[in-house]
Structure 1
Amino acid sequence: MASPFASKLGTNYCPSAEEMVEIETLLVEPELRLKRLDEAIIEMQKALDKLTQERDTLGAYVHAHNALISPARRLPLDIIQEIFTACLPTHRNCVMSASEAPVLLGRICSAWREISLSTPRLWASLHLAVPQIDPWIETWSKEYTSDTSEQRLEVTRTWLHRSGQCPLSISMHSPDLAGVNTPQTSAFLQALIPFASRWQRIQFNIPASFTEILGQVAASDVPMLQSFTLYQGPRSQPHDLSWDFFGMTQARNISITGDNFVFSELPLRWSQLTTLSTVSPEGLAINTRISTETVLQTISRCPQLQSFSFEHAGGSELGTQISSSIIEHPLLEKLHCVGTDLTAVIHDVLRRLVLPGLKDFTLLWIENPNSMAVQDVSPLLCFLARSLHLKCLHMETEQFSTLHLQEILRSLPPTLQRLRITAPWVYDIHGTSTDSFNDDVLAVLTPTPGLATPCPDLKVLQMDQCITISYAAILQFITARIATLKRIRVDFAKEIELDKRPSLRLFIESGLDVSVTHTVSPELRFSPWDGLPDAPPPPSWGSAQQSLL
């Protein structure tokens, strides 16, 4: 609309008395028009609200009837049960949490809850994390832990009763905390024993003083048992346990750590064993170190053995009289070696092993102030050269020089697809890192035109506790391997002033699974996922707890 005051609008101009009268006269008609428009809008809004209400009512009617004929309602019960079963984790047991199956399935609707509760297979696996009582925490926290224990104990009984007659897979995590046994451990073990006749895969991580409770279980009590794992914490008091009557040692897959038995004298079904381990999930044994001869004798007396994990007790000095007989085992596919003296492991054990079917090999070192760095890696190179089907390798680098690491990587068979390198760092008297795993070592795995590339089919690389590896070397490796590389994990044991992870975005967008982390202080965990490798961050002590079932 044209106005004689257009040039004055939006300015600080102050009209005169005559101009004010003129402006008031000018606005009479527009103000009337504005009032009529507001009234029209109100009427149209009323009409729109009425139409919206009618649409919502009609839409609710249509949606409710469409729901009656939805394909999901017509799925047969057995199909729904199969879908529910497919929701369960496959790499571990189920946890007591409403954030995942099977508990989550019962919270969708009443029909799904009824189906989930009447499907025993959904409740046939359970990870049981016993709440820990720290002697240094406040009284209110102890009361909170006690209440949580009572709740989990009741849920445990309910959970297992829902499993019907299905074979059970159970893992129980209740290690020592601050050297003090958790009193609830006994109650949880006693709750599990009545279901022993259906135990199929069992794993206990408990203080050694509670192991005798499991002595109540005879071989006839566990007819379904296939796998038995027992990680025992240090004994708080001396006690004897009669392993001859320990029924669970008759399983074909055995993993035992502790200091209350002689490994070679365990009443195992040696000729039928397929899996045998004296190493805990943390990669260490607890006073279950075995000698060179025991390692070799064990492999010889277990013709069906497919997986063997052990911690070496150390060996004699080079040059002493040690049997030089060669042990060949065609079925052994996984070998996990941990030792305080890698020279002894390499020269006394690996030198004498021929494992043509080996696919997964681990070589870790336990810190020992008396242990010297490996001076001769030729037996290890020969062992790797004999492993023509090796696909996975995990090794610690601290006991090897940079030159030796380069030799080892060059000797890896072309079949290798997964490589994990743990590089625990040490410092000299000047505070300078002496980590031998550096850019020169990674360069061996980085393809160079005109040169043969070790491990041409490498798909996964994981590097732990890196301190001397640079981002530039990592980017160069990824760029050269991007055609075949599927996943790379890098953990830096130091803080990086400038975060260069955005430079990896291009590779991520091309489909590469990349993870770059920096070491942080560990957090105290207190959750149903305790003891599992994929445990999420724990809730705070004061967070509200949801009903488990």
Structure 2
Amino acid sequence: MPTIDLRRRLVELDAQILEQKRALRDLQQTRITVERELRETASYPILALPVEITTEIFHRLPLKVASYSGSGLSSYVAPVSLTAVCRSWRGIALSTPKLWSTMEILFDGVPPTVIAEPGMVELSIHRWLGRSGECPLSLTFILHDNRFPLSRLRTIVHQYAYRTRYLNLDDFNPMDALELYSLSFPSLQAATFRCDSNLETHVFGNAPQLHSLHMLSLPNEGIVLARLHLPWQQLTTFEGTIHNLDLFVVAPNLIDVKCYWPGQNTPALITHSRLTSLTVIADDTILKYLTLPCLRHLDLTVELNRYNFVASFLKRSSPPLISLRAQAADPAFSQWHNAALHVAGTLEDLELLSPSRGVMASIFSSWESPGRRTLTALSNLKTLRFLDVLDPVSQHELVHFLYLRSDKLRSLQLVWYGSPYLYGRTEAGAPGAPAALDTIVGHFSRLRAAGMDVYVGTEDENYAATNDEALDA
């Protein structure tokens, strides 16, 4: 073979050797990477989970932007913190749009130097929300000191209005400066905001799906509905402080109301024909002025010293009430008895806070006397809860009550401040079954074994869930 051919052959071989060395280096680097990932997986088994399960776990984490640093949105909250764990988690987090669809920013926590830099805050927000794809957005913006210009916030809100499903604007006054009334919110379903009750405010004039409203205000501020222009007709849920009953007039389609009512005189009685759930905070006198024939859930988180208001309200409304939550500390329980009788036939879920001994006896006892009236008509109860109990209760009557109602009552919760003694003995049994002589806790064990959820004890311990075996009769 000629010399020139031999030299050409050597050059070709050198090139092939070089290529093989490069391929070998690549394989060695890949092996190192796989080996490192194997060590990480062995040390952290969660990294071996399928991507679908890891993604579902990520979805269930609290996703909020709670603070701001000079470098941008906080890296100490999910989902930003997830991207710093490992390359695998970073890839999953960045490719899961739903993780980036929730944002909460407290503008008071943004350094003035960052706010002063044009577009810096907006850039971080756009980078975050840009990863959310086309997911519906839940946005919370909180401002107490007016440090962040409302004109800049207006631009942010307007840019993402078309896919905002929930919007919380806390302490942005005046609200009209955000120009929300004519802005289109095609996906907005719920909103929370605080506004100055002394100013006329126009908000959400073009939000066809808006049905839930939470008005943030101090108890002494109230809401002047005549000054607040909202799509009241389409609201089904409302939460906030009210000083009159205009709400029940301007919003005829309300289904669920939770209101702080500081106690005001109202001249007229108002009937609302669609409301099914009412929670009243602070004062129960609101019931003097309402008739709610469709009410199914009533929560009176106030101390009821005037049960006659409740009784007359229930008599007047005749609602198909299935759940009632109320204070019951009044030792003169005759008024409580009169109130409960009006819904005894439909009530399924009853929760009483700080119930007096008389109130509990009126439910548990199966016999009456001239000075002792019972509520045996509460025959449809499925859930019964007594919380913050101070007074003693007849354990014998309690056990017999549970057996008597064992066909329908599925859950009893009785929480004392102190530890109850449950080892007295009584003879009891379900209707039609032989009675058994057992300790109180033994009977609770029998009832639990039969499928009833019984919790009798303190907040920390259920004394009805001991492992003691029931004594044979």
Give TM-score scaled by structure 1 length. Answer: 0.52
Gaps of 5+ in 2: 1-34, 42-46, 67-74, 112-120, 369-373, 424-439, 461-473
Contact 1:229 1:254 in 2 (8 A): yes
Secondary structure at the residue paired with 2:253? coil
Matched, 1:387 2:352: no
**Do structure 1's residue 256 and structure 2's residue 215 form an aligned pair?**
yes
- Are 1:165 and 2:134 an aligned pair? yes
C-alpha spacing 1:201/1:347, structure 2 compared with 1 (3 Å): same
Query: 8 Å contact 1:130–1:172 — kept in the other structure?
Result: yes
Query: Which residue matches 1:466?
Result: 389
Distance 2:288 2:198 in 1: 36
For 1:485 and 1:184, the matched residues in 2 are separated by: 56
Give runs of aligned pairs for residues 51-450 of structure 1, distance below 5 A: 80=52, 84-85=55-56, 88-89=59-60, 94=63, 110-111=87-88, 113-125=90-102, 128=104, 159-170=128-139, 190=153, 193=157, 195-203=160-168, 206=170, 208=171, 210-212=172-174, 215-219=177-181, 220=183, 222-230=185-193, 241-244=199-202, 251-258=210-217, 259=221, 261-278=223-240, 285=241, 288-291=242-245, 294=246, 298-312=247-261, 314-316=263-265, 322-323=267-268, 327=271, 329=273, 331-338=274-281, 340=283, 342=284, 344-349=285-290, 353-356=291-294, 358-365=295-302, 373-375=306-308, 378-383=311-316, 386-388=318-320, 390-397=321-328, 401-423=332-354, 437-446=355-364, 448=366
Q: Secondary structure at the match of 2:191?
A: strand
CA shift for structure 1 position 253: 1.7
C-alpha distance 211-439 of structure 1, shift in aligned 2 (>3 A):
same
Structure richer in strand, relative to its length: 2
Cα 1:218–1:490 shift into 2, 3 Å: same
Are the counterparts in 1 of residues 165 and 187 from structure 2 also a CA contact under 8 Å?
yes
Q: CA deviation at 1:243?
A: 0.9
CA distance in 1, matches of 2:352, 2:77: 33
Rounded to whole Å, the distance in 1 between the matches of 2:324 and 2:214 is 21
User: CA distance change for structure 1 residues 315 and 497 in 2, over 3 Å: closer, same or farther?
Assistant: same
Contact 1:228 1:248 in 2 (8 A): no
Aligned partners of 1:419 and 1:460 also within 8 Å: yes
Gaps of 5+ in 1: 1-60, 134-142, 144-151, 175-180, 279-284, 424-436, 520-549
1:377 deviates by 5.1
The C-alpha deviation readout for 1:384-441, integer Å capped at 9, x for no partner, is 6x212x2222223357831111222333243333222233xxxxxxxxxxxxx32331
- Secondary structure class of the residue paired with 2:298: strand
Which amino acid counterpart does residue 227 of structure 2 have in structure 1? Answer: E
In 2, the alpha carbon distance for the partners of 1:474 and 1:84 equals: 52
Does the CA contact (< 8 Å) of 1:307 and 1:334 recur in 2? yes
> How many Å separate the matches in 2 of 1:474 and 1:198?
58
Q: Contact 2:167 / 2:190 at 8 angstroms: preserved in 1?
A: yes
Deviation, 1:200, is: 0.8
Residue identity matched to 1:165: E
What SS does the corresponding residue of 1:163 show, helix, strand or coil? Answer: coil
1:512 aligns with 2:453: yes
2:255/2:275 contact within 8 Å kept: yes
SS at match of 1:290: coil
TM-score (normalised: structure 2): 0.58
Is the 8 Å Cα contact of residues 418 and 460 (structure 1) preserved in structure 2?
yes
CA-CA distance at 1:262 after TM superposition: 1.0
Q: In the alignment, is the contact (CA less than 8 A) between 1:171 and 1:202 conserved in 2?
A: yes
TM-superposed CA distance for 1:153, in Å, is 12
Cα distance in 2 between the residues matched to 1:464 and 1:112:
44
* SS in structure 1 of the partner of residue 99 of structure 2: helix
Tell me: higher relative CO, structure 1 or 2? Use CA pairs within 8 A at least 6 residues apart.
Answer: 1
1:474 to 1:453, Cα distance in 2 relative to 1, 3 A: closer
Paired AA for residue 382 in structure 2: K
Cα deviations by residue, 1:288-333 (Å, 9 ceiling, x for unpaired): 4224xx2xxx43443422223334453559xxxx546x6351x322
Contact 1:309 1:335 in 2 (8 A): yes
Cα gap change, 1:110 to 1:335, in 2 (>3 Å): same
Q: Report the Cα offset of residue 100 of structure 1.
A: 11
- SS of corresponding position for 1:314: coil
Q: Is the 8 A contact 2:58 2:99 kept in 1?
A: no
Aligned residues of 2:139 and 2:168 also touching (Cα < 8 A): yes
Alignment length (residue pairs): 369
Structure 2 partner of 1:545: none
Q: Quick one: distance in 2 between partners of 1:117 and 1:513?
A: 46
Instruction: Give, in whole Å, the separation in 1 of the partners of 2:457 and 2:207.
Output: 42
- Opposite residue 255 of structure 1, the aligned amino acid is H
Distance across 2 between alignment mates of 1:101 and 1:500 = 47
SS state of the match for residue 166, structure 2?
Answer: strand
Q: Is the 8 A contact 1:387 1:413 kept in 2?
A: no
1:491–1:399 Cα change, 3 Å? same
How much does 1:227 deviate?
0.9
Q: Write the distance in 2 (CA, Å) between the matches of 1:240 and 1:473.
A: 59
The one-letter code matched in structure 1 to 2:193 is: L
